[in-house]
């Protein structure tokens, strides 16, 4: 087993660093190193931080916490040319992938409290052309999830991976008017007997009293979103509050107020783009 693990280590590391996305990451690190050398030279001539900024942090320092999660997400989106490992522990594989991506993998102590030991769980997988994030998603057991933090990825229980949520506003005034209130097909026997359609046949119609151009109500529209943006489809999406989850959606003056995970917000935006 140990030999198989060592072989897996070599395969994963080589596959990850051979991926098309990694040279860009390496170049970024080199440019940062060069920038660091320049800043070291400039440090001798510029005033001290205490003298230049006595009342607080610089703008760069203030913005850094917000930028670091974005950098981690960018690394997670890089595609791997090939990933191959056999009977390797999930914990080890995650750490190897994190090292390849240039960020740390941190294991939440909530895993131990939940009786989840990723060091004792093994995985065998051969993948090509997938993003690092998708590989992590496939490797993790269904009761686990992860959350992107500043400079690292936190692996934790599924429920804890959903919080804290982000809140976003979506203007859906026009969407409400354009989406038809379609409740299902209605079979009209007259279409068969009178040949209402060209060549005869069955005609399906929208049900209800709606007229052409009538749209759905805000409540119907929100239910439609919940049906398509669901944890059942992607466990990175938090369960909605009517499913005993933390996510919520409400409507006010033509706008949807959505509290969801990062993946959940992406799914909502994608759904709205798809119907426009």
The answer to whether residues 6 and 121 belong to one domain is yes
DSSP strands (E only) in the chain: 79-89, 104-107, 122-131, 144-148, 152-157, 166-171, 185-187, 204-206, 248-252, 255-260
pLDDT digits (tens, 9 = 90+) for 247-275: 999 999 999 999 999 999 999 999 999 88
The answer to whether residues 24 and 149 belong to one domain is yes
Q: Which of 125, 140, 161 is the last residue of a domain?
A: 161
Q: Which CATH number covers residue 45?
A: 3.55.50.30
Query: DSSP state, 103?
Result: S
Domain count, the chain: 2
The answer to whether residues 109 and 186 belong to one domain is no
Task: Tell me the residue length of the chain.
Answer: 276
- Report the distance separating Cα 222 and Cα 241, nearest Å: 12
- Report the distance separating Cα 132 and Cα 76, nearest Å: 5
Would you state the pLDDT for residue 276?
A: 78
Position 175 confidence tier, pLDDT thresholds 50, 70, 90: confident
The answer to whether residues 154 and 191 belong to one domain is no
- Report the distance separating Cα 162 and Cα 145, nearest Å: 8
pLDDT digits (tens, 9 = 90+) for 87-109: 999 999 999 999 999 999 999 99
**Token reading at 188:** 């009209």
The answer to whether residues 23 and 157 belong to one domain is yes
Q: Which of 137, 161, 185 is the last residue of a domain?
A: 161
The answer to whether residues 153 and 220 belong to one domain is no
Question: Is pLDDT above 80 for 81?
Answer: yes
Question: What's the alpha-carbon Rg for the chain, to the nearest Å?
Answer: 26
The answer to whether residues 150 and 190 belong to one domain is no
The answer to whether residues 13 and 118 belong to one domain is yes
For the chain, give the percent of residues with pLDDT over 90: 53
pLDDT digits (tens, 9 = 90+) for 31-76: 444 444 444 433 433 444 444 444 555 555 545 555 588 899 999 9
- Report the distance separating Cα 267 and Cα 36, nearest Å: 38
**Strands 204-206 and 185-187, sheet pairing:** antiparallel
The answer to whether residues 46 and 63 belong to one domain is yes
The answer to whether residues 213 and 112 belong to one domain is no
The answer to whether residues 148 and 215 belong to one domain is no
**Token reading at 228:** 């398509």
- Report the distance separating Cα 180 and Cα 183, nearest Å: 9
Position 123 confidence tier, pLDDT thresholds 50, 70, 90: very high
The answer to whether residues 68 and 178 belong to one domain is no
Residue for token digits 């850094």?
A: 64
Q: Which of 143, 161, 179 is the last residue of a domain?
A: 161
* Domain housing 45: 2-161
């Amino acid at each position: 087993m140990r030999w198989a693990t060592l072989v897996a280590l070599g395969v994963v590391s080589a596959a990850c660093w051979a991926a098309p996305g990694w040279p860009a990451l390496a170049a970024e690190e080199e440019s940062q190193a060069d920038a660091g050398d320049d800043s070291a030279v400039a440090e001798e001539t510029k005033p001290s931080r205490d003298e230049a900024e006595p009342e607080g942090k610089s703008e760069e320092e203030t913005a850094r916490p917000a930028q670091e999660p974005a950098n981690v997400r960018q690394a997670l989106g890089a595609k791997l040319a090939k990933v191959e490992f056999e009977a390797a522990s999930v914990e080890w594989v995650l750490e190897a992938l994190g090292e390849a991506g240039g960020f740390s993998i941190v294991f939440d102590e909530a895993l131990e409290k939940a009786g989840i030991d990723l060091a004792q769980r093994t995985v065998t997988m051969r993948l090509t052309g997938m993003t690092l994030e998708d590989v992590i998603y496939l490797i993790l057991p269904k009761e686990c999830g992860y959350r992107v933090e500043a400079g690292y990825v936190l692996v934790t229980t599924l429920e804890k991976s959903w919080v804290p949520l982000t809140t976003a506003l979506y203007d859906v005034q026009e969407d409400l008017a354009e989406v038809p209130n379609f409740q299902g097909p209605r079979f009209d026997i007259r279409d068969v007997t009178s040949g209402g359609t060209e060549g005869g046949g069955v005609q399906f119609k929208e049900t209800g009293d709606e007229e052409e151009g009538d749209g759905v109500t805000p409540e119907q529209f929100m239910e439609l979103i919940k049906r398509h943006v669901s944890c059942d489809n992607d466990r990175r999406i938090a369960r909605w509050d009517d499913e005993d989850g933390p996510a919520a959606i409400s409507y006010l003056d033509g706008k949807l107020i959505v509290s969801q995970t990062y993946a959940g917000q992406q799914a909502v935006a994608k759904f709205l783009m798809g119907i426009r």
